[in-house]
Amino acid sequence: MSDSNCCLPGSVTQTCDRDNLIGDCTVRTQPFTLQAGTYAKGEILFKTGTGSELVNLATDSGSTDANAVAIMPFDVVLAENDEMAVYVGGEFNEDVVTGYTDLDVLKVTLTGDIRLRKFY
């Protein structure tokens, strides 16, 4: 496992190269099915009309910030739908999170378990 994925459950890596996305590496993950496409670390993921499938704006430009539910933990290209763990809880840097249209709406949508704030 690479250092960039060190905060995922089951990691044997003891240290992180801080990329300034995660506050204190206290995160919660949950498996979801991601639709085929290209995903980048820090991208916002949106629920779709299909069960527990998630997508990003690059794959579905019709997604809205009100449907945001998770943050992508690493870069990946999926040739077909695949299940993987994504961030569903923790504190994240609003300046590093990408793939949304309105930060104020996003903050309200994610208020429960995901907190977005500026890191100084």
Residue-range domains of the chain with CATH: 3-117 (2.40.300.10)
Place of tokens 């003891």: 14
Give me the pLDDT at residue 52, please: 83
Give me the pLDDT at residue 38, please: 96
Q: Which residues of the chain have pLDDT under 50?
A: 1-4, 10-15
Rounded distance, CA 87 to CA 14, Å?
19
Place of tokens 């704006």: 57
Give me the pLDDT at residue 8, please: 53
Give me the pLDDT at residue 20, please: 77
Give me the pLDDT at residue 11, please: 45
Q: How does DSSP classify residue 43?
A: B
Give me the pLDDT at residue 1, please: 36
The pTM for the full model equals: 0.82
Rounded distance, CA 87 to CA 1, Å?
17
Local structure of 45: helix, strand or coil: strand
Rounded distance, CA 65 to CA 56, Å?
11
Give me the pLDDT at residue 23, please: 75
Rounded distance, CA 103 to CA 109, Å?
10
Radius of gyration, CA atoms only, the chain? 13
